[in-house]
Amino acid sequence: MNTSTEWNELIRIWQQPAEAGADPRDIRGRVMSDSRRESLLLAAEYAVGAIIVCLVAWKLATDKGLDTFVWGFAMLWFTAMALQFTSTNRRGLWAPSGDSTLAYVDLALERLRRRERAVRFAWLLFGLQLAFLLAWYPATWFLWPQQAWPLLERTPVMLGWLALVALALAGWTASTRSRNVSARAELERLRAELTAAA
């Protein structure tokens, strides 16, 4: 094989990923950008969790009573569930298993799967909170009748917040699934091309 043929072969190999839509620098850049974003999201989620814990602690310190204790315990339990899930769901997503483009593509695909799992968990947590509220109302009427009227007065505000949270969850779900569908199709096509070329 002469030098010209070798050079042409190197050019063909070097250009192949670009022709296939698989620029390794682009994939690696996107994955590293996602890593920075994931770190910021994790920090923000823990900050929100810390704020919730502080607010619950303040409420428990200033408002004594069994009803406040039950409410505070439920809030802390839901917060702990959310923080535990977010830590577990991100485990193994910080760096690819190797330094190949295929490893970066696999990591990007796994992150998409984990985002979908996060959407399902958010709806599950919302459902558990609704179940708690549905149990809380009758319990308040029978166990703490003195709290029943203040709770009834806050009902429209609470229903408004629940509707707002449900709307935000629905928007986040639609947005995440829409982005994931297009990203998954591109990444799976890219993975098939890289696997075939290997």
Q: Residue 8 pLDDT > 70, yes or no?
A: no
Query: What does the pLDDT average to over 34-51?
Result: 90
The residue with greater pLDDT, 98 or 107, is 107
User: Which band of pLDDT confidence, cut at 50, 70 and 90, is reported for residue 14?
Assistant: very low
> Residue 71: which residues within 8 A CB-CB, separation 6 or more?
59, 136
Report the distance separating Cα 186 and Cα 84, nearest Å: 31
User: Which band of pLDDT confidence, cut at 50, 70 and 90, is reported for residue 77?
Assistant: very high
> Residue 188: which residues within 8 A CB-CB, separation 6 or more?
109
Query: What does the pLDDT average to over 172-178?
Result: 93
What average pLDDT does the structure give for the chain?
Answer: 82
At 196, which amino acid appears? A
Query: What does the pLDDT average to over 47-57?
Result: 94
pLDDT of residue 13: 46
Q: Residue 24 pLDDT > 60, yes or no?
A: no
148-176 burial code (b ≥16 CB/10 A, e <16): eeeeeeeeeeeeeeeeeeeeeeeeeeeeb
Q: Residue 1: is it exposed, middle or buried by C-beta count within 10 angstroms (0-12/13-18/19+)?
A: exposed
91-106 burial code (b ≥16 CB/10 A, e <16): eebeebeeeebbbbbb
Report the distance separating Cα 5 and Cα 74, nearest Å: 71
Whether this model's pTM surpasses 0.85:
no
DSSP state of 64: -
pLDDT of residue 86: 93
